[in-house]
């Protein structure tokens, strides 16, 4: 038989254990560390902390495609690059203006070259004028603008083809193609978190422009595609995504011609996703019914 004192002690330990477990259960999970993946001898993909980043180690310096979400994330990205090479980061290329791809620039050294499509810079300037959400500090805005549909640059001994086919995810999307390595950094044109693309219509993105841009991406002689979010994609993955997006847009167009409302269209398509942004279906509908 257990003595009364021993029973009380056991009860206290049990209560303390339950409280401790509860406290642990309520604690926020620790931040997920960044993970570095090597794609080629001098090309890496670093996931975590917002949008994916592509890192290219050149002759004398490093080129980074997209810079994470926060200053702390940008610093962690730089720390991880320092584990790969002692060469300094000299150039950043931005695929678009969303904060989870540009705000980490706050940690980058002064004077780093920042390359972006010209509309990207305009979108960041708009964000700064509205209070700064979705834009890095003004001293880290793009310093070199891409104004053509294709520009080829030689940076740190590396050839890069930069494409802007059309306003798509945003008005200032930029696709980064490394022809020698057959790698493409797609930005959020390809993002695997949802089966259909996200279009920022408030940044003058376009569903038709997305289809044009995605088809441009798969036309490139590449076999590795670093998406804005998610795991590495193949050409077949992107082709399926295009087919699904085109089919859904065609369905919306047909029902618009029948005079159906957006609620009727969503119900007919079984669209039940609880998104905090306009769905592909919604943006297609608004574009197709715009007067």
| pLDDT score at 135 | 79
pLDDT at 7: 43
Which has the closest alpha carbon to 146: 113, 98, 179? 113
pLDDT digits (tens, 9 = 90+) for 32-89: 789 999 999 999 999 999 999 999 999 999 999 999 999 999 999 999 999 999 999 9
Average pLDDT over all residues of the chain: 90
Q: Taken in order 130, 77, 45, 222, is the CA torsion positive or negative?
A: positive
pLDDT band at 21 (very low <50, low <70, confident <90, very high): very low
pTM value is: 0.89
- Sorted by where each begins, the domain ranges of the chain are 35-234
For 200-244, the pLDDT digits (tens) are: 999 999 999 999 999 999 999 999 999 999 999 999 999 999 999
Predicted local distance difference test score (pLDDT) of residue 23: 39
- pLDDT tens profile 140-154: 999 999 999 999 999
Architecture of the 35-234 domain = 4-Layer Sandwich (3.60)
Tokens coding 163: 């494409």
Q: Which tokens hold the place of 233?
A: 């994609």
């Amino acid at each position: 038989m257990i003595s009364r004192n021993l029973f009380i002690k056991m009860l206290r330990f049990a209560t303390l254990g339950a409280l401790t477990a509860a406290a642990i259960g309520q604690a926020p999970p620790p931040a997920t560390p960044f993970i570095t993946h090597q794609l080629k001898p001098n090309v890496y993909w670093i996931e975590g902390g917002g949008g994916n980043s592509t890192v290219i180690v050149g002759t004398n310096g490093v080129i980074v495609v997209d810079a994470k979400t926060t200053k702390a994330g940008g610093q962690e990205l730089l720390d991880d690059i320092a584990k790969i090479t002692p060469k300094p980061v000299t150039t950043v290329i931005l695929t678009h203006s969303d904060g989870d791809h540009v705000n980490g620039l706050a940690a980058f050294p002064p004077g780093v070259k920042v390359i972006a499509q010209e509309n990207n810079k305009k979108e960041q300037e708009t964000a700064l004028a509205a209070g700064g959400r979705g834009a890095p500090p003004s001293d880290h805005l793009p310093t070199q603008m891409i104004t053509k549909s294709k520009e080829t640059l030689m940076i740190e001994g590396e050839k890069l083809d930069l494409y802007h086919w059309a306003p798509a995810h945003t008005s200032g999307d930029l696709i980064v193609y490394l022809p020698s390595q057959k790698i493409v950094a797609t930005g959020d044109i390809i993002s695997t978190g949802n089966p259909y693309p996200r279009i920022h219509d408030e940044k003058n993105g376009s569903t038709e422009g997305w289809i044009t841009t995605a088809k441009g991406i798969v036309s490139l002689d590449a076999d590795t595609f670093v998406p804005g979010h998610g795991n590495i994609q193949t050409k077949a993955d992107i082709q399926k995504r295009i087919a699904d997006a085109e089919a859904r847009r065609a369905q919306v167009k047909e029902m618009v011609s029948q005079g159906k409302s957006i609620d009727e269209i969503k119900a007919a398509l079984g669209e039940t996703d609880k998104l905090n942004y306009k769905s592909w279906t919604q943006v297609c509908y608004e574009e197709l019914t715009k007067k």
